[in-house]
Amino acid sequence: MKIKFQPYGVIAEAEAGQTVLQAANAAGVDIEAVCGGRGTCGKCRIIAAQGLGPLTEAERRRLSPEEIAQGYRLACQALIEGDVAVVVPEESRISEVSILSTGIGDSVSLDPWLATYAVQVPEATIEDQVADMDNLVRTLAAAGAPALRPTLTAARQLPAALRADEGRVTIVAQGQRMVRIVPASTGVRVLGMAYDIGTTTVVGYLMDLQTGEQLAVASLLNPQTRYGDDVVSRIGFSRDDPQGLDTLHHDIIQAMNTIIERVTHQAKVTPADVYAVVAVGNTTMHHLLWGIDPEALARSPYVPAVTEALGVRATELGLRVYPEAEVWTLPNIAGWVGADTTGVLLATRLHTHEEPALAIDIGTNGEMALGSRERLITCSTAAGPAFEGAHLSCGMRAADGAIDVVTINHRVEYHVIGDVPARGVCGSGLVDLVAGMLQSGVIDSTGMMRDAEALRNGNGSELADRVVGEGRQRQFMLVDPESGAGGRPVLVTQRDVRELQLAKGAIRAGIQILLKELGITAADVKRVYLAGAFGNYIRPTSALAIGLIPEFPNADILPVGNAAGSGAKMALLSRAALREASAILEHVEYLELSGRPDFQEEFAEAMIFGASG
Amino acid sequence: MKIKFQPYGVIAEAEAGQTVLQAANAAGVDIEAVCGGRGTCGKCRIIAAQGLGPLTEAERRRLSPEEIAQGYRLACQALIEGDVAVVVPEESRISEVSILSTGIGDSVSLDPWLATYAVQVPEATIEDQVADMDNLVRTLAAAGAPALRPTLTAARQLPAALRADEGRVTIVAQGQRMVRIVPASTGVRVLGMAYDIGTTTVVGYLMDLQTGEQLAVASLLNPQTRYGDDVVSRIGFSRDDPQGLDTLHHDIIQAMNTIIERVTHQAKVTPADVYAVVAVGNTTMHHLLWGIDPEALARSPYVPAVTEALGVRATELGLRVYPEAEVWTLPNIAGWVGADTTGVLLATRLHTHEEPALAIDIGTNGEMALGSRERLITCSTAAGPAFEGAHLSCGMRAADGAIDVVTINHRVEYHVIGDVPARGVCGSGLVDLVAGMLQSGVIDSTGMMRDAEALRNGNGSELADRVVGEGRQRQFMLVDPESGAGGRPVLVTQRDVRELQLAKGAIRAGIQILLKELGITAADVKRVYLAGAFGNYIRPTSALAIGLIPEFPNADILPVGNAAGSGAKMALLSRAALREASAILEHVEYLELSGRPDFQEEFAEAMIFGASG
């Protein structure tokens, strides 16, 4: 069977019985599949006239009769039966997202893994037939350099390097390993890569290990996104598809290689100048980066395969940097608190604080840590997806067409990312919107959306026309069809509000339990770090208004950007920082919320909207 | 152009201007090329009627008018001009050679690199969410095992292994590295490979590291032989051909992989059971095994790139054993005294002897060591090729058709390897023959062959008819045309006798200089080890008769077989032996004969044939 994807003009072979989504993935055509192809999110709409099997129950549920009449299908449901031409509409394409590439913690003192030594090695003679390597080692020792041992790569380079420039050579050493030997006339740049492997976005920083300077940064949508938006979908794909683990592993390596090409091109250097790589990510991303089966993470008791920092040669992973480069990940803390949180802790240094401080990192998952050098506790909530647009009818990532700021002050105003019509709402916009709906009385503190009638009679009368439908079907029209992309409105449903409420409740309950576990109150907390893309863009006033975080009367609230990435950069620039990461692992405690008898009670309370909730 | 090789029926593409030898190498057709394709050895005879360029000067020198009339050409000289059919006659084919696969020194106490641990790891629980690897490490520590750190391979294996057999796992560890983790129900064999990479022959031993038992042995002609019989030809090929180093490196790896397949097939195990590899070889083979440029070995001051033991993961070299297996070579001693001599010293333990002992290893090169635990000196002579059949008109390796034993007692008797007509003489046969010619008066102590007339009048009258020609063209017919392969006689020329004389002189001079350097005489030597293929098969009486070695009135003379290979096996079975090899490197001195002012004088004296010479 042949399948053609428009507007790309891509033609690929497909087998009868494959879904359109499978064929698209095989052909490298990106289609949104937030639920991982289970037919529940309804995001993978495509248009096709013929060549596909009959409509499924899931499609009838997710598509309107008008859409069905127009030929809309769900790519994950529609089975290929013959040659088919498929249109992938704008809203189903995976687009580049706004990423957060700055952070804190750049004040690390330079203490890198790599060192260079320049020596002039005297020629061997018939009276002193010293082997090249012995000659070099002897010369290095006389120059006061530490003892180094050769790698095979360096041993292969030595004979020619030694004879190219009258014995003058430059040695690049990683710890005690000689990793590269070049004639002195060949200049040497010693660079490194730090990565934050997010569930949604992969960010890479090219760092100069001799100066500590950041030379370039680039990011990419995590290509695994085609197998689902959240880690649970990806673990499912890894488990159910015989090639799943391999595919997800190679997706990450491929993304890292693409980023290396981009940043080295930007900085006018070569990938072979990169001698060290440090990566962070949540525990699932960590496992997939290494090609380790993450299945146990998704089943009680939710344990990782590995926590300790792992290091291997770049060639073993297929990373296209200098072949002897070592690749490290920071240690994981627990199944749902990964190396990214270790990065946040390294950057915020919570483990050294004299007084209690809180760090919240809300990406696709929400992790938090509370404490000080006395005691430091982390926990994780499955709260994230709502803030990144998944599982919401109106939700989307912070990409072009996303509403990221909303104010409701009698009338509704909003800001759309990019100069395009609105397609949906991203996390920060949603928190603004719900805060506004709450303050204007469109929803009450239980999260119930009032009907238009009640609003007309109350103080939300200007907004009453925006509320349509009844009961669970009630919706708030944020953008009318005339203004929306593709003539479609942006509607926030009662169910969307409930999803946000669940997410907010989980995070708030996590904070409450951490406070309780430490025996302190919000007033004792002296600093709050908001990390991650969502944490950086969310307006603290809106977060407080809906009760995502409690009032911290004595705390500074600091957005700290991509603190996980900052932690990776610190570990890349400083051996002491990597050692400190291991020390953090010893110090930090992990609290499993599902194991707490009081979690349900806290969660129920935390579901109430409002500043006091 | 098409070229067809008979009797193989191989048809290959060739380019105009290529030599037949280049086309044969590209097509995988083995043709003898002892001189490395320089047109000097005359061994690469082929027969072709048309399609080749005109005869070269070298061909006119090496081929008789009758041969030229029959269409004989030299494959290394004849240029392809059109489609051509080539016959590779029997005598130009590279045949399997007799190899020496036994040795001494098997009394090493088992202290291998690999250990196995069997434990039952308790399940993690929601109250104790320990990561799989932490859980395993904890269990190992409780069982009293030493601290182990995971490799990536083991980390990948752990989650499934832990859940396959109720937590019962077997760990294979190499030193502190966990290299493999399997469910206890999967049996584990822990095997290793020891290799002797000879210039001519590659021998591999499959060893059981749990019992010390040798499970299988296999050998292969070194495929590099097609680029020349001696190391100097190969270094030349590596220098002159842009792909030369790569080709020679991959030839060795390929040979090692072929041997792994054969021995594991013989022993009914799999290559993935092989966790450790130790190899020895001369310095050139050592460098080519690692892919290190050997060029400096061939130019004064003859220095190696590396002496110290090198170790890398098998996958880095492309060896098809267990991916985490480590590959080691024993250390080299000097440019012309390699890891193979270190292996001989490890096996003979000269460095621990109370009284002086001598070890001579004559393969393609001749290395020797003399001394005791007080002081131990090695040196090398470029003597070998004559003993392995190269550079002699009648010479050949110890393969089918080679005369390996000769006795002359009025009449000439000889033994041919294999049940075939004689094609030439191998080293041990040549030493016998020259000893016999000397004792029967066919040659005098200066190496001059007497003419038939003089012999008829002396006591060699029965042999007079075998001497033909005059002066430098004089020849001794060992086998007449009726008995020889292809109707060709086996003739030993005056020049062949000179070649042997040079080789014998070099070795003898080396022994004399070692004795002098130590300030002892042959009478002080208490043991002589004859190692290597030639050392093992040569008859000591013949060696004494020509004066290859002096009389050792107080010494036992012991043939010790492939002592270099025995050394490799010892280092494979015992960590202490590998450490001892490094200690030997500290202890042993290297004497560069070309740097000795008295070498020429000793060499001139040592050229004299006879027991006292």
B119-143 pLDDT per residue, tens? 999 999 988 999 999 999 999 999 9
Euclidean distance between CA atoms B164 and B304, whole angstroms: 50
In this prediction, residue A255 carries a pLDDT of: 94
In b/e form, how buried is each residue of A469-503, taking b as 16+ CB within 10 angstroms? beeeebbbbbbeeeebbeeebbbbbbebbbbbbbb
A99 lies in a domain? no
Euclidean distance between CA atoms B301 and B293, whole angstroms: 15
A104 lies in a domain? no
Any CB–CB contact under 8 A between A164 and chain B? no
Measure Cα distances from A573 to A277, A421, B570 in Å: 10, 43, 44
The crossing angle, in degrees rounded to 10, of helices A244-266 and A283-290 is 90
Confirm if B136 and B119 have CB atoms less than 8 A apart. yes
**Domain of residue B123, CATH code:** 3.10.20.880
Euclidean distance between CA atoms B395 and B386, whole angstroms: 8
A271 φ/ψ angles, rounded to the nearest 5 degrees: -55, -30
What the block records as the tokens of A429 is 């916009």
Q: Select from A132, A291, A315 the Cβ nearest to the Cβ of B156.
A: A291
The order of strands in the sheet holding B402-409 is B411-416, B402-409, B424-425
B279: helix, strand or coil: strand
Confirm if B386 and B225 have CB atoms less than 8 A apart. no
What lies within 8 Å, CB to CB, of B386 at 6+ separation is B392, B395, B427, B430, B499, B500, B502, B503
Rounded to the nearest angstrom, the minimum Cα separation between B586 and chain A is 12
> Do A261 and A403 belong together in one domain?
no
A553 φ/ψ angles, rounded to the nearest 5 degrees: -60, -25
Rounded to the nearest angstrom, the minimum Cα separation between A383 and chain B is 20
pLDDT at A24 over 50: yes
What are the residue ranges of helices labelled H in A241-379?
A: 244-266, 283-290, 314-317, 339-348
The identity of residue B375, as a single letter, is R
Interface size between A and B, measured as CB pairs under 8 A: 136
Any CB–CB contact under 8 A between B124 and chain A? yes
Residue with tokens 């022994």: B511
A340 lies in a domain? no
**Domain of residue A264, CATH code:** 3.30.420.480
Any CB–CB contact under 8 A between B125 and chain A? yes
Decide if A595 and B295 are in contact by the 8 Å CB cutoff.
Answer: no
Q: Select from A133, A296, A305 the Cβ nearest to the Cβ of B305.
A: A133
> Do B375 and B392 belong together in one domain?
no
> Do B369 and B394 belong together in one domain?
no
pLDDT at A456 over 90: no
B127 interaction partners in chain A (CB closer than 8 Å): 595
Helix-strand-coil split of chain B, %, nearest 5 = 35, 25, 35
Any CB–CB contact under 8 A between B284 and chain A? no
Rounded to the nearest angstrom, the minimum Cα separation between B406 and chain A is 41
If you average pLDDT over every residue of chain B, what do you get?
Answer: 89
Decide if B132 and A295 are in contact by the 8 Å CB cutoff.
Answer: no
Any CB–CB contact under 8 A between B266 and chain A? no
Any CB–CB contact under 8 A between A300 and chain B? yes
In this prediction, residue A546 carries a pLDDT of: 94
What lies within 8 Å, CB to CB, of A490 at 6+ separation is A394, A403, A422, A423, A424, A425, A477, A478, A479, A484
Any CB–CB contact under 8 A between A147 and chain B? no
pLDDT at B251 over 90: yes
B440 φ/ψ angles, rounded to the nearest 5 degrees: -90, 0
Last residue of a domain, one of B158, B183, B208: B183
Q: What count of other Cβ atoms lies within 10 Å of the Cβ of residue B594? A: 12
Task: Find the residue in B nearest to A123 (Cα).
Answer: B301
pLDDT at A95 over 60: no
- The stretch A69-75 carries a mean pLDDT of 89
- The stretch B576-586 carries a mean pLDDT of 90
For residue B7, whether the previous peptide bond is cis, meaning omega lies within 30 degrees of 0, is: yes
Decide if A290 and B156 are in contact by the 8 Å CB cutoff.
Answer: yes
Decide if A301 and B132 are in contact by the 8 Å CB cutoff.
Answer: no
Last residue of a domain, one of A499, A525, A557: A499
Half-sphere exposure at residue A7, Cβ-oriented, CA atoms within 13 angstroms: 5
CB neighbour class for B529 (10 Å; exposed up to 12, middle 13-18, buried from 19) = buried
Beta bridge partners of B78: none
In this prediction, residue B98 carries a pLDDT of: 45
Look at chain A and count its residues. 613
The identity of residue A95, as a single letter, is S
B611 lies in a domain? no
Decide if A305 and B133 are in contact by the 8 Å CB cutoff.
Answer: yes
pLDDT at B8 over 60: yes
According to DSSP, residue B462 is labeled G
B245 lies in a domain? yes
Show which of residues 71-90 on chain B sit within 8 Å of chain A, judged by CB atoms: none
Rounded to the nearest angstrom, the minimum Cα separation between B157 and chain A is 8
B360 lies in a domain? yes
Euclidean distance between CA atoms B170 and B136, whole angstroms: 11
Region of residue B334 (left: phi > 0; alpha: psi -120 to 50; beta: else): beta
> Do A238 and A174 belong together in one domain?
no
Euclidean distance between CA atoms B308 and B425, whole angstroms: 38
Residue with tokens 């070995």: B297
Any CB–CB contact under 8 A between A110 and chain B? no
Q: What count of other Cβ atoms lies within 10 Å of the Cβ of residue B294? A: 25
pLDDT at A320 over 90: yes
Q: Select from B129, B155, B590 the Cβ nearest to the Cβ of A292.
A: B155
A392: helix, strand or coil: coil
A300 interaction partners in chain B (CB closer than 8 Å): 126
The crossing angle, in degrees rounded to 10, of helices B283-290 and B244-267 is 90
Confirm if B536 and B504 have CB atoms less than 8 A apart. no
Decide if B130 and A290 are in contact by the 8 Å CB cutoff.
Answer: no
Hey, which of A170-184, B11-25, B31-45, B460-474 has the most confident mean pLDDT?
Answer: A170-184
Interface test with A, best of B128, B130, B303 (most A CBs within 10 A): B303
Task: Find the residue in B nearest to A291 (Cα).
Answer: B156
Q: Select from B160, B292, B312 the Cβ nearest to the Cβ of A159.
A: B292
Any CB–CB contact under 8 A between B523 and chain A? no
* Of A612 and A461, more confident: A461
Sequence-ordered strand ranges (E) for B487-612: 490-493, 527-531, 556-561, 589-590
In this prediction, residue B383 carries a pLDDT of: 64
pLDDT at B95 over 60: no
- The stretch A102-126 carries a mean pLDDT of 80
Any CB–CB contact under 8 A between B163 and chain A? yes
Closest CA to A289 of A323, A245, A326, A322: A245
Binning pLDDT at 50, 70 and 90, where does residue B39 land?
Answer: confident
pLDDT at A388 over 60: yes
Beta bridge partners of B74: B45
Q: What count of other Cβ atoms lies within 10 Å of the Cβ of residue B17? A: 11
**Domain of residue B368, CATH code:** 3.30.420.40
Strands B310-313 and B326-329: antiparallel
B304 interaction partners in chain A (CB closer than 8 Å): 131-132
> Do A514 and A494 belong together in one domain?
no
A97: helix, strand or coil: strand
Rounded to the nearest angstrom, the minimum Cα separation between B593 and chain A is 10
Maximal CA-CA distance, chain A: 106
In this prediction, residue B612 carries a pLDDT of: 57
> Do A378 and A395 belong together in one domain?
no
Q: Select from B158, B303, B306 the Cβ nearest to the Cβ of A155.
A: B306
Euclidean distance between CA atoms B370 and A68, whole angstroms: 93
Euclidean distance between CA atoms A561 and A348, whole angstroms: 11
* Of A89 and B547, more confident: B547
Euclidean distance between CA atoms A557 and A542, whole angstroms: 13
In this prediction, residue B386 carries a pLDDT of: 64
Confirm if A304 and A297 have CB atoms less than 8 A apart. yes
Any CB–CB contact under 8 A between A296 and chain B? yes
Closest CA to A598 of A515, A509, A504: A509
In this prediction, residue B102 carries a pLDDT of: 53
pLDDT at A332 over 70: yes
pLDDT at B99 over 50: no
Decide if A129 and B590 are in contact by the 8 Å CB cutoff.
Answer: yes
pLDDT at A106 over 70: no
Binning pLDDT at 50, 70 and 90, where does residue A97 land?
Answer: very low
Binning pLDDT at 50, 70 and 90, where does residue A34 land?
Answer: low
Euclidean distance between CA atoms A395 and A428, whole angstroms: 11
Confirm if A212 and A206 have CB atoms less than 8 A apart. no
In this prediction, residue A104 carries a pLDDT of: 57
B338 lies in a domain? no
**Domain of residue A41, CATH code:** 3.10.20.30
The identity of residue A346, as a single letter, is L
- The stretch A22-50 carries a mean pLDDT of 79
> Do A436 and A556 belong together in one domain?
no
Sign of CA dihedral A216, A219, A223, A229: positive
Give CA B17 to chain center in angstroms.
33
According to DSSP, residue B518 is labeled H
Decide if A305 and B131 are in contact by the 8 Å CB cutoff.
Answer: yes
ipTM above 0.85, yes or no: no
In this prediction, residue B55 carries a pLDDT of: 92
Euclidean distance between CA atoms A356 and B240, whole angstroms: 70
A158 interaction partners in chain B (CB closer than 8 Å): 292, 305-306
What the block records as the tokens of A400 is 């072009």
Last residue of a domain, one of B149, B183, B217: B183
Decide if A125 and B334 are in contact by the 8 Å CB cutoff.
Answer: no
Cα-only R_g, chain B: 27
Decide if B130 and A303 are in contact by the 8 Å CB cutoff.
Answer: yes
- The stretch A476-484 carries a mean pLDDT of 92
Decide if A131 and B307 are in contact by the 8 Å CB cutoff.
Answer: yes
Show which of residues 27-56 on chain A sit within 8 Å of chain B, judged by CB atoms: none
A5: helix, strand or coil: strand
B407: helix, strand or coil: strand
Domains contained in chain B, number? 5
Euclidean distance between CA atoms A577 and A579, whole angstroms: 5
Confirm if B354 and B373 have CB atoms less than 8 A apart. yes
- The stretch B159-183 carries a mean pLDDT of 95
- The stretch B182-209 carries a mean pLDDT of 93
Q: Select from A130, A133, A310 the Cβ nearest to the Cβ of B155.
A: A310
Domain extent at residue A531: 349-384+506-606
Q: Select from A156, A163, A305 the Cβ nearest to the Cβ of B291.
A: A156
Task: Find the residue in A nearest to B295 (Cα).
Answer: A159
> Do A495 and A512 belong together in one domain?
no
Decide if A310 and B592 are in contact by the 8 Å CB cutoff.
Answer: no
* Of B613 and B4, more confident: B4
Euclidean distance between CA atoms A146 and A130, whole angstroms: 20
* Of A70 and B524, more confident: B524
> Do B78 and B30 belong together in one domain?
yes
Give the tens place of pLDDT for each residue, A205-239.
999 998 888 999 988 888 998 888 789 899 999 99
In b/e form, how buried is each residue of B175-189, taking b as 16+ CB within 10 angstroms? eebbbbbbbbeeebb
Decide if A293 and B159 are in contact by the 8 Å CB cutoff.
Answer: yes
Closest CA to B477 of B414, B531, B534: B414
The crossing angle, in degrees rounded to 10, of helices B283-290 and A152-164 is 110
> Do B202 and B177 belong together in one domain?
no
- The stretch A296-305 carries a mean pLDDT of 93
The order of strands in the sheet holding A424-425 is A411-416, A402-409, A424-425
Q: Apex CA A200: angle with CA A195 and CA A204, to 5°? A: 20
According to DSSP, residue A395 is labeled B
B227 lies in a domain? yes
- The stretch B578-595 carries a mean pLDDT of 90
Decide if B132 and A302 are in contact by the 8 Å CB cutoff.
Answer: no
A56 φ/ψ angles, rounded to the nearest 5 degrees: -95, 170
> Do B274 and B421 belong together in one domain?
no
> Do B84 and B135 belong together in one domain?
no
Decide if A305 and B124 are in contact by the 8 Å CB cutoff.
Answer: no
Give the tens place of pLDDT for each residue, B310-351.
889 999 999 999 999 999 999 999 999 999 999 999 999 999
Sequence-ordered strand ranges (E) for B441-553: 467-468, 475-479, 490-493, 527-531
